[in-house]
């Protein structure tokens, strides 16, 4: 009995010990992300970004930081990844499209090849992935280049998945691309769900969405959550190509981003509680913020920053039990170029060096995209519109030309210059990378005025100004009703007559009503006046020495 009792006692002691064995510690996972890379594989010409930041060594002073470039991204990822063994690289769209000539001249195959080497695992699509249409994106994704063949000998497609839960077949309602994928890290399965801005139809050529429709981002993401959880997956990350405006620092300790606003806020507030975090994009901002309890990140643009999300995941429940985030600036001085990636990029750049190096002109100084002196007209935007007007007038009389703000991608040159500077094909291409064509149309004055009024649409957080050629002038009042904001609109010094027919030049994106400028769809008697890049190159060659880096003041706000 005593022996038997002793055995029972020992067993009871063993069972009690098992009951108090602590749960295994959380699994630590890091997700690194790029968004709005736009094919910026190169470290210079064009420089991805030159920033002026506070200098910690000299309070009150600033320091210049050159950021971005695939070789510097590779260096940063190597260092960050060494401190986080369980990690993935992911994306939030616009990885290609609107790219510099180093990538775009080869149909963005260089960008895909570089992203493959960086280890990209999965990305949502962005609007620019569809700049050249559905077939072109699928070619980039699969490496099946069709009859024309691939632009580079080594191209075999993206080794990562593109996602779009909210881009659906118009006929079947099924997702056009995968809505989500599962990845496993350190024994933990993670679901990545992708979506693109629901404003996609207004941002790309209409032909790029033939047979497709775009759904609300949150609705589409929420719809697949039950399917994901039914597979036993509890860690769910959303990759959404939509974003916010934010003027604060890249990193704030409590993730309270004062003043953060924009579409992503509403989207996040409507997401299923099972979504653990969101990587955002599209607005080219840098932030790591908590919205409704969830971390929401964006890593600037052009590869100038990397967003890092650090998760602690319970090995028993597979739930996220803690999360932190940091936006890492890809400072070229802080992260010296990775030699292998630098050599690879140089090899890709050599394929287009002769074309890119063509000198077009020498400017007295660089031309900024942003208005100067408190005016509204953009020095470089005006030059682009004037170039398109000049090209259109070679075919006949034309009254005015417009181009959209998003169609002018950089300053000229991208890195800016306060002194005389040579401008090459590469510089012009960086500013006009879409390959748009100039459309000349007949437009009634009432629709011309309507187009100008559409700069102030109710749904816009701030005016979305058109770049116009030099002959147009007007004033505008911010406090007035959007339909009444225009004052004293004149073309060639004369008021626009609503019943008169004008000949107007715009790019094909605007001609199809892009960016919400539906007034241009009323244009008739259309003709093609050639490519926008060719028009800009010729204009710079002929007029470069005469161009001013200051706003003319022909478009200006009125003080309330």
CATH code of the domain covering residue 453: 3.90.780.10
CATH code of the domain covering residue 193: 3.60.21.10
pLDDT for res 4: 40
CB neighbours of residue 188 within 10 Å: 20
- Phi, psi torsion values for 389, nearest 5 degrees: -65, -45
Q: What is the Cα–Cα distance from 282 to 83, expressed in whole angstroms?
A: 29
pLDDT for res 478: 86
Question: Could you list the residue range(s) of the whole structural domain that residue 231 is in?
Answer: 27-348
Mind listing the pLDDT tens digit for each residue in 438-487?
999 999 999 999 999 999 988 777 899 999 999 999 999 988 887 889 99
Q: Would you give the DSSP letter of residue 25? A: P
Residue showing tokens 């901002």: 285
Contact 469, 388 (CB under 8 A): yes
Quick one: which H or E segment has residue 189? Answer: strand 188-196
Q: Give every residue of the chain whose pLDDT is below 50, as ranges.
A: 1-6, 8-9, 11-12, 14
| In a shared domain, residues 391 and 274 | no
Of the residues 348, 376, 403, which one is the last residue of a structural domain? 348
Q: What is the Cα–Cα distance from 88 to 86, expressed in whole angstroms?
A: 7
CB neighbours of residue 232 within 10 Å: 8
Q: What is the Cα–Cα distance from 438 to 419, expressed in whole angstroms?
A: 31
| In a shared domain, residues 138 and 172 | yes
| In a shared domain, residues 308 and 414 | no
| In a shared domain, residues 404 and 513 | yes
| In a shared domain, residues 156 and 290 | yes
pLDDT for res 1: 33
| In a shared domain, residues 297 and 441 | no
Q: Are strands 275-279 and 235-241 parallel, antiparallel or unpaired?
A: parallel
Asked, for residue 455, whether it belongs to a domain, the answer is: yes
SS3 180: strand
Of the residues 298, 321, 348, which one is the last residue of a structural domain? 348
Asked, for residue 1, whether it belongs to a domain, the answer is: no
- Phi/psi-derived region of residue 41, left when phi > 0, alpha when psi is between -120 and 50, beta in every other case: alpha
pLDDT for res 168: 99
| In a shared domain, residues 432 and 496 | yes
- Phi, psi torsion values for 377, nearest 5 degrees: -75, 140
Q: What is the Cα–Cα distance from 346 to 357, expressed in whole angstroms?
A: 14
pLDDT for res 56: 84
Domain count, the chain: 2
CB neighbours of residue 142 within 10 Å: 11
| In a shared domain, residues 295 and 316 | yes
Of the residues 286, 316, 348, which one is the last residue of a structural domain? 348
Q: Are strands 212-214 and 167-169 parallel, antiparallel or unpaired?
A: antiparallel
Q: Are strands 437-444 and 472-477 parallel, antiparallel or unpaired?
A: unpaired
Asked, for residue 163, whether it belongs to a domain, the answer is: yes
| In a shared domain, residues 328 and 386 | no
| In a shared domain, residues 497 and 529 | yes
Altogether, the residues listed in the chain come to a count of 560
Q: What is the Cα–Cα distance from 383 to 375, expressed in whole angstroms?
A: 16
Asked, for residue 87, whether it belongs to a domain, the answer is: yes
| In a shared domain, residues 323 and 364 | no
Asked, for residue 10, whether it belongs to a domain, the answer is: no
Asked, for residue 11, whether it belongs to a domain, the answer is: no
| In a shared domain, residues 318 and 390 | no
Asked, for residue 2, whether it belongs to a domain, the answer is: no
Asked, for residue 423, whether it belongs to a domain, the answer is: yes
């Amino acid at each position: 009995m005593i022996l038997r009792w002793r055995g029972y006692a020992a067993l009871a002691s063993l069972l009690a010990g098992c009951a108090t064995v602590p749960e295994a510690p959380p699994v630590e996972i890091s997700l690194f992300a790029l968004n709005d890379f736009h094919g910026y594989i190169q470290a210079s010409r064009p420089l991805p970004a030159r920033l002026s930041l506070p200098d910690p060594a000299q309070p009150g002073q600033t320091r210049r930081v050159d950021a971005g470039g695939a070789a510097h991204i590779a260096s940063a990822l190597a260092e960050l990844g060494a401190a986080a063994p369980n990690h993935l690289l992911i994306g939030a769209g616009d990885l290609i499209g609107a790219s510099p000539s180093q990538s775009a001249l080869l149909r963005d195959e260089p960008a895909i090849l570089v992203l493959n080497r960086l280890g990209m695992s999965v990305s949502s699509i962005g609007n620019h992935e569809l700049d050249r249409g559905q077939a072109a994106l699928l070619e980039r994704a699969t490496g099946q280049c069709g009859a024309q063949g691939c632009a580079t000998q080594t191209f075999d497609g993206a080794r990562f998945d593109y996602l779009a839960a909210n881009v659906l077949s118009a006929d079947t309602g099924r997702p056009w691309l995968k809505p989500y994928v599962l990845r496993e890290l350190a024994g933990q399965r993670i679901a990545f769900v992708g979506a693109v801005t629901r404003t996609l139809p207004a941002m790309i050529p209409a032909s790029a969405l033939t047979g497709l429709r775009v759904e609300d981002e949150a609705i589409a993401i929420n719809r697949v959550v039950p399917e994901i959880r039914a597979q036993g997956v509890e860690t769910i990350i959303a990759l959404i190509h939509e974003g916010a405006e934010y003027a604060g620092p890249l990193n704030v300790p409590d993730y309270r981003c004062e003043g953060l606003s924009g579409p992503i806020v509403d989207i996040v507030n409507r997401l299923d509680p099972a979504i653990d975090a969101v990587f955002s994009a599209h607005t080219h901002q840098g932030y790591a913020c908590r919205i409704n309890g969830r971390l929401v990140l964006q890593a600037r643009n052009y590869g100038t920053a990397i967003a890092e999300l650090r998760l602690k995941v319970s090995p028993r429940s597979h739930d996220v039990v803690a999360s932190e985030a940091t936006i890492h600036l890809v400072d070229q001085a802080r992260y010296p170029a990775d030699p292998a990636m630098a050599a690879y990029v140089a090899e890709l750049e050599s394929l287009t060096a002769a074309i890119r190096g063509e000198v077009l002109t020498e400017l007295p100084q660089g031309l900024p995209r942003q208005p100067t002196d408190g005016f509204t007209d953009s020095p470089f935007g005006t030059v682009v519109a004037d170039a398109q007007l000049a090209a259109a007038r070679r075919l006949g009389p034309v009254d005015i030309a417009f181009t959209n703000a998003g169609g002018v991608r950089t300053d000229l040159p991208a890195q800016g210059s306060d002194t005389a500077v040579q401008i090459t094909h590469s510089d012009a291409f960086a500013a006009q990378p879409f390959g748009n064509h100039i459309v000349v149309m007949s437009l009634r004055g009432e629709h011309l005025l309507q187009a100008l009024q559409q700069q102030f649409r109710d749904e816009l957080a701030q005016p979305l100004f058109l770049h116009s050629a030099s002959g147009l002038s007007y004033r505008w009042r911010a406090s007035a009703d959007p339909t009444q904001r225009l004052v004293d609109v004149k073309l060639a010094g004369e008021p626009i007559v609503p019943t008169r027919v004008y000949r107007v030049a715009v790019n094909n994106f605007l001609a199809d009503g892009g960016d919400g400028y539906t007034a241009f769809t009323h244009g008739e008697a259309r003709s093609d006046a050639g490519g926008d890049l060719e028009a800009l190159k010729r204009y710079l060659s002929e007029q470069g020495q005469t161009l001013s880096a200051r706003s003319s003041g022909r478009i200006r706000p009125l003080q309330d």
